[in-house]
Amino acid sequence: MIGNSVLAKEIKILKTLQHPRIVRLIDVFVTIDALQIVMEFAEGVELFEEISGPGKKFTENDAKEVIRMVLEGVEYIHAQGIIHRDLKPENLIWLDDPSTGKKTLKIIDFGFARFSNESAKESTSGTLGYKPPEVISPSLNIPQSTKSDMWSIGVISYILLCGFPPFFSFSEDASDDWRLSSSPFWTLFNEKTDELVNSITLGTYAFPPTFWDSVSENAKDFVRNLLKVSPEQRMSAEEALKHPWMSN
């Protein structure tokens, strides 16, 4: 019944992954007319809910700890030869860890994931504002790789540090503080416009002083080394965990 469907691939991938930062597949039951998937119960909220309101952001230390947890999970995923292809705050569950009494994080939704040695239609994966240049502009003729996930982590890092995304659907100057602080989150970078596609393809973004003056240079350098147009120049998950911002 499962056959070679997208669901079959997701199940195969989830069976491969056993890590504290990844929601766990418990079991799969197949009958004549039904497929039942039992997943780990992760009672929490999407990270998106914590950052999507105007002016919302984490402290720099909070952002660092969240990204560290994401990187721990992604480093493991990549070591298994898997690309997630849809990393975004909506696919990161923020929950309480009863064993420590602290917040923890789990990566969910492997519907777009694939093994790195498989071919795929690059433009079909991911969510618009988190897509790397090689995915949003197939004409670049750059294959998708684990480094594509690293671009998405760069976008997430930027958002956590300042409260809005690095790439926009409107054409105004990125230093327009009023527009940035008053625009609904989803209009900033979930509308496919020429401005958005071009800014992602060219890697054009800024650190507006009003929002970034209080952020450390190490944090900005961390973001810069993930939002590189060339995948080869982006940090891997392993390298990102060793970056001075993370190791400080």
Q: Catalytic positions, please?
A: 86
Please give the single-letter amino acid code of residue 172: E
Is 51:159 a contact under the CB 8 Å cutoff?
yes
Q: What is the DSSP letter of 191?
A: S
Nearest one of 78, 75, 108, 73 to 93, comparing CA atoms: 108
The residues facing 46 across adjacent strands are 93
Q: Which residue has the tokens 């669901």?
A: 7
What does residue 170 show for φ and ψ, rounded to 5 degrees? Answer: -110, 160
Percent helix, percent strand, percent coil in the chain, to nearest 5: 45, 10, 40
For the residues of 16-30, what is the DSSP string, one character each? H---TTBPPEEEEEE
Q: In what order do the strands lie in the sheet with 92-97?
A: 44-46, 92-97, 102-107
Residue type for position 243:
H
Q: Give me the residue label for tokens 């071009």.
A: 198
Give Cα 227 distance to the centre of its chain.
Answer: 12
Alpha-carbon distance of 24 to 20, in angstroms, equals 8
Rounded to whole angstroms, how far apart are CA atoms 103 and 248? 20
